[in-house]
Amino acid sequence: MLSKPLIITPNRILLSVPHMSGAELRWVQEAFATNWLSTVGPNLTELEKCFQKTLGQHTVALSSGTAGLHLALRLVGVQPGDEVVTQSLTFVASANPILYEHARPILIDSERTTWNLDPELLEKFLKLRARVNRLPKAVILVHLFGQPGAIEQITTICRNYGVALIEDAAESLGSRYHGRHPGTFGDVGVFSFNGNKMITGTTGGILISSDAQKANCARHWSTQARDADPSGINNYLHTERGYNYRMSNVIAGIVRGQLDVLPSRVIQRRSVFERYRNALAGIPGLEPQPDAPWATPGPESGSMPDNPSYHSRWLSCFLIDEAQFGCSAPDLIRWLHLANVEARPVWRPMHLQPLFSSAERIGGEVAEDLNARGICLPSSSSLTLEDQAFVIARIHEAHSSGISSKSMSQKKRAN
């Protein structure tokens, strides 16, 4: 077991780091030069315009993706005591906003195909609930690691039962599903610009909706919900509960500078994954996260199909079969840590969290297996060939020497 605090040395190879384009500083400097240093300004306007144009949806720039998910729940009418379905296998930020609204999470297992919300379990659950007239208020579909979930099935199911669909697309900016961006299929979609995501503003998020009224409402709530005041002197009038969730114009400048490189970041991350896949292909018991059955050749292939579907490979994920590989996923994570390489497990399911111990759960075996056997390898778009070769060599070593928790202390390498 890892007991000492992690020492981050300068040479540590990290999981996913910010990768600036160089254009960000220009927009940040312009914000300073023109004194647009609040939650209003040209960077914000430009960022929203750009997303609106690319995604064909109304957009609201926010302080974080989590803030976006919180507003999304309110936009679809979630009230205290309502039930909200989400996939158990996700980062806690998908589920925390359910608690903010004092709603009740229902945690459904993942499917093996995409690692995301299992459409069959969802349909069975909604069918049962429709019979007793107790449908949940909303479903949150997460597109984990850049892999779009079973969007077509899930949008149809939600439509059939009249349940709102929120897409947590925080990890999937840059992916495609039949030519469209995941996040644009539900009633509301949310992206994140957290420091470890595909592109970053150091922090930040964006909410999108095809419904202008929803977007306007989110913008209103995100700035403390101050109403127009008939007195003409803006005499602080508030009817609804609001938040301080708006993005700052400085952060918007950073994200703005990242927008142009988004396509190349996707190609770079997909190339990182491809190199792992090729270099590790011969190792038994080490299996890459599969492409969904509908995946087409990706953007790096040169000739893109008209309606491409592809995984952005935000993170390069693998599954380990301990018996064949020679050690478990946690052992490999510890082994890489000793070599100054950061790898992480696939998310710990929400139904295993003390925080959600009283939540209703539907299945969970797939999520548990993916968490127990999954490993996310360093996936930065800026990862050098040399560093990646180092990671790959350590994995080959772990396999051939059959490390385990017990033997690890003897095999500790000097950093």
Opening angle at CA 220, ends 217 and 223, nearest 5: 150
Q: Which range of residues in 78-86, 88-96, 208-216, 398-406 is near ligand PLP by CB under 6 A? A: 88-96
Query: Residue 206 interacts with ligand PLP (CB under 6 A)?
Result: no
Q: In the complex with ligand PLP, which residue's Cβ is closer, 65 or 308?
A: 65
Lookup: tokens for 233: 């002197």
Among 16, 86, 94, 209, binds ligand PLP (CB under 6 A): 94
DSSP class per residue in 87-118: ESSS-GGGTHHHHHTT-EEEEEPBPTTTSSB-
Q: Which range of residues in 52-60, 61-69, 235-243, 400-408 is near ligand PLP by CB under 6 A? A: 61-69
Query: Residue 170 interacts with ligand PLP (CB under 6 A)?
Result: yes
Instruction: Kindly state the smallest distance separating residue 366's Cβ from ligand PLP, in Å.
Output: 17
In angstroms, the CA 262 to CA 191 distance is: 13
Instruction: Kindly state the smallest distance separating residue 282's Cβ from ligand PLP, in Å.
Output: 32
SS3 83: strand
Among 119, 149, 189, 205, binds ligand PLP (CB under 6 A): 205
**Do residues 57 and 209 make contact, with C-beta atoms less than 8 angstroms apart?**
yes
Query: Residue 192 interacts with ligand PLP (CB under 6 A)?
Result: yes
Query: Residue 171 interacts with ligand PLP (CB under 6 A)?
Result: yes
Q: Which range of residues in 15-23, 44-52, 59-67, 263-271 is near ligand PLP by CB under 6 A? A: 59-67
Query: Residue 91 interacts with ligand PLP (CB under 6 A)?
Result: yes
Query: Residue 60 interacts with ligand PLP (CB under 6 A)?
Result: no
Query: Residue 167 interacts with ligand PLP (CB under 6 A)?
Result: no
Query: Residue 66 interacts with ligand PLP (CB under 6 A)?
Result: yes
In angstroms, the CA 213 to CA 175 distance is: 27
Instruction: Kindly state the smallest distance separating residue 65's Cβ from ligand PLP, in Å.
Output: 3
Q: 221-225, long-range: CB within 8 Å, 24+ apart, which pairs?
A: 221/71, 221/74, 221/245, 222/60, 222/62, 222/63, 222/67, 222/71, 222/246, 223/39
In angstroms, the CA 378 to CA 401 distance is: 22
What do you get for the CA distance between the two ends of the chain, in Å? 18
Query: Residue 88 interacts with ligand PLP (CB under 6 A)?
Result: no
Q: In the complex with ligand PLP, which residue's Cβ is closer, 147 or 388?
A: 147
DSSP state of 205: E
**Do residues 256 and 27 make contact, with C-beta atoms less than 8 angstroms apart?**
yes
Instruction: Kindly state the smallest distance separating residue 110's Cβ from ligand PLP, in Å.
Output: 13
Among 142, 173, 320, 336, binds ligand PLP (CB under 6 A): 142
Distances, alpha carbon 46 to alpha carbons 35, 249, 251, 252, 315, in Å: 16, 10, 12, 9, 28
Angle in degrees, 0-180, between the axes of helices 42-55 and 24-34, rounded to the nearest 10: 140
Distances, alpha carbon 157 to alpha carbons 91, 117, 265, 398, in Å: 24, 12, 33, 44
Q: Which range of residues in 50-58, 60-68, 276-284, 337-345 is near ligand PLP by CB under 6 A? A: 60-68
**Position of minimal CB gap to ligand PLP:** 65
Q: In the complex with ligand PLP, which residue's Cβ is closer, 124 or 344?
A: 344
Q: In the complex with ligand PLP, which residue's Cβ is closer, 154 or 339?
A: 154
Question: Judged by CB under 6 A, how many residues of this single chain contact ligand PLP?
Answer: 14
Q: Which residues are near ligand PLP by CB under 6 A?
A: 64-66, 90-91, 93-94, 142, 168, 170-171, 192, 194, 205
